[in-house]
Structure 1
């Protein structure tokens, strides 16, 4: 079994006396691609933002055996990176400048960029096929282009744990596939990737583990075939489905029972 890299114990999160997340207990391992799934308003993004301390929570979150509250900010940012679902940026930074911000946790004082930082940023710009955007202002880009720039920034941070909130929501099918394929490649380097996903078929195709939440509770956690069941889908989404193995893709699949003829 791969080495445990992040543990969540008795995590609770409240906003204005409203209990959003309730007694979450999870363990994550190196080399996993974990999808957080569930209906709108279930708490998926809220949970993800607890993992690196963006949200103030009750409970314990440990990375590599150490409580994240005991990490210095820059050291924590060398271990865990985060990409927000909201890609709007109002300041007209160049794309290259945005991506280079991913190197900030490694700078000893101020914003002292080194040539090695620029080489790392260029590597990920080339991979994401956005090298031609490097001098363009982030405010001039489409939503999909911004998504690819911000994903490059996260990769440039070069952390062992990568958190992604709907990373392909503005992308066409080509770039959606490319990003998920690259996520799989990163797991082969023993990185942990945790991402919220709305598209269950994409989650099934690429994720090694799924966490299904509803109303702030984890109602299923495990391999895809353990989580994507007729009972769990009914419980989470209040729809009746038939779950089966797709003979074309050879993946687990499902269809709404009203659609069956």
Structure 2
């Protein structure tokens, strides 16, 4: 895989007169799991949609390999950046394999049918995410958590360099949440990069190599988990009185609300 870098320089995004993202600056390269954390309304989902080109920025620039994302054709960008929405409500009655194989769309020519290889890649990731048993079921028959896992298989099937995940474990129980992030750890070892909105701070600390803390559309802190998850930052951004410590059993950074 070729080296790649993603850079955001002074990125601003507005809805009407309201500035949602304010002078966002950061750089990431291959092999990172970056957790985007912060309270509701801080701009986390907006940031992901902006990186993916869904939201058109008002000021600043987003560069992928020193080239503006606006200069990429749609399928070219989709081969490099994939996006998983937190919304699992799908309005079409497709089988799960048909949903997952849609991840191969960026690699097809116009009107080209999915190949046997595309199906095999989709099945590979369905097996990885323990959803192959749903292969021929309608996506509408599944629970929210089951759909979440199928959609995760779809974004894996896209095999992009950078994965943008918006609360990928929101509908999952503890076992599947931990399993999903273990899959992301293996992806990191393939020199891919994951940027994920995460509400579960303990999961963020356990699996992320780096955290970006947002508040009111601005980056409060960007760094290693122990640099970001401080008592001062939790109080300042979340408005909670917390004690941060290392868990004596897991050895991981942990916290409790006092």
Interval containing the TM-score (normalised by the shorter chain): over 0.9
- 1:187 aligned residue: 188
Q: CA deviation at 1:256?
A: 1.4
Secondary structure of the 2:244 match is strand
| CA distance in 1 between partners of 2:56 and 2:141 (Å) | 34
| CA distance in 1 between partners of 2:4 and 2:83 (Å) | 19
Q: Give unpaired runs (5+ residues) of structure 1.
A: none
| CA distance in 2 between partners of 1:98 and 1:80 (Å) | 18
CA contact (8 A) 1:104 1:111 kept: no
CA contact (8 A) 1:48 1:165 kept: yes
- 1:27 aligned residue: 27
Secondary structure of the 2:86 match is coil
- 1:252 aligned residue: 253
| CA distance in 2 between partners of 1:205 and 1:132 (Å) | 29
Secondary structure of the 1:19 match is strand
- 1:12 aligned residue: 12
Q: Give unpaired runs (5+ residues) of structure 2.
A: none
- 1:71 aligned residue: 72
Q: CA deviation at 1:65?
A: 1.9
- 1:138 aligned residue: 139
Q: CA deviation at 1:254?
A: 1.1
| CA distance in 1 between partners of 2:160 and 2:248 (Å) | 38
Q: CA deviation at 1:241?
A: 1.0
Q: Which runs of 4+ in 1 moved over 3 A?
A: none
| CA distance in 2 between partners of 1:162 and 1:94 (Å) | 24
| CA distance in 2 between partners of 1:188 and 1:250 (Å) | 22
Q: CA deviation at 1:4?
A: 5.5
Q: CA deviation at 1:174?
A: 1.1
What are the equivalent positions in structure 2 for 1:167-182 lying under 5 Å apart? Answer: 167-182=168-183
Normalization by structure 2: what TM-score? 0.97
1:114-147 per-residue CA deviation (whole Å, 9 max, x = no partner) reads 1110110110011111111111111111001100
Q: CA deviation at 1:109?
A: 1.8
How many residue pairs were aligned? 255
| CA distance in 2 between partners of 1:109 and 1:15 (Å) | 34
Q: Given the alignment of the two structures, is residue 158 of structure 1 paired with residue 156 of structure 2, yes or no? A: no
- 2:224 aligned residue: 223
Normalization by structure 1: what TM-score? 0.96
1:226-245 per-residue CA deviation (whole Å, 9 max, x = no partner) reads 10011111111011111111
- 1:107 aligned residue: 108
Q: CA deviation at 1:59?
A: 1.5
1:29-61 per-residue CA deviation (whole Å, 9 max, x = no partner) reads 210000000001111111111111011113111
- 1:89 aligned residue: 90
CA contact (8 A) 1:4 1:27 kept: no
